[in-house]
Amino acid sequence: MTIAGSPSPSLFRVRPVRVLYMRVSTGESGDRAVVDFDLTSADVVRMLERETLDRRPVVDRLRRQASVRVLAQALRVAERPLTRHLLCDLIGFRAARSALPELLEALEDDDRGVRGSAADAITKALAYGGVQPVPDRLIRRILPTLLRHWEREPQMRGDLAYALGGLGDPSVIPLLQAALDDPHEHVRRAAEWSLGRLGEGSSKGV
């Protein structure tokens, strides 16, 4: 029997709800991110390229809501150097090894700022992107690219020195030891850090 004026039983039925967000751990900062799985790479590029006097709110939103997969896809298709630079920074914040293929491609970018941001993101992914050592197959893929840019990009050598330490391959120790005599202080400091990470301390000051 239905009492007059009582709510319809259909109001109490459980209705399916589409889950849009999931909590996941993020990069070295230890923050939590709420990933919006509705964001696409096209959305990300459009948000970053929208004309504005201050991109910080957009960058902060993407840092917390864009998945690494979508950021990596956006890096592949973004046409503006500033957009690619920001995307490398965003991926670096997440310290994600899954985006290493895209970051390695970004090391070949025509824009020096993009290359520097990619090198920094690679360092974070290698050093902080997992509790397990970098697999040998990944080392074999990454190391030749890093060494090639070591010779081509003196201004990036500091970032690359950090990346070599994060890679964890002892074969780079002689190169890093030689970098302790580099004329640039940031390169010497990076080499010192990497040698310490590889278990090879140095008696030289930086």
| Torsion from C-alpha of 82, 84, 85, 89, nearest 10 degrees | 140
Q: Same fold for the domain at 21-131 and the one at 137-206?
A: yes
Q: What is the pLDDT of residues 106-128, one digit of tens each?
A: 999 999 999 999 999 999 999 88
Domain boundaries, the chain: 21-131, 137-206
- The CATH code of domain 137-206 reads 1.25.10
- The CATH code of domain 21-131 reads 1.25.10.10
- Is the backbone of residue 106 left (phi > 0), alpha (psi -120 to 50) or beta? alpha
pTM recorded for the entire structure: 0.76
pLDDT of residue 31: 43
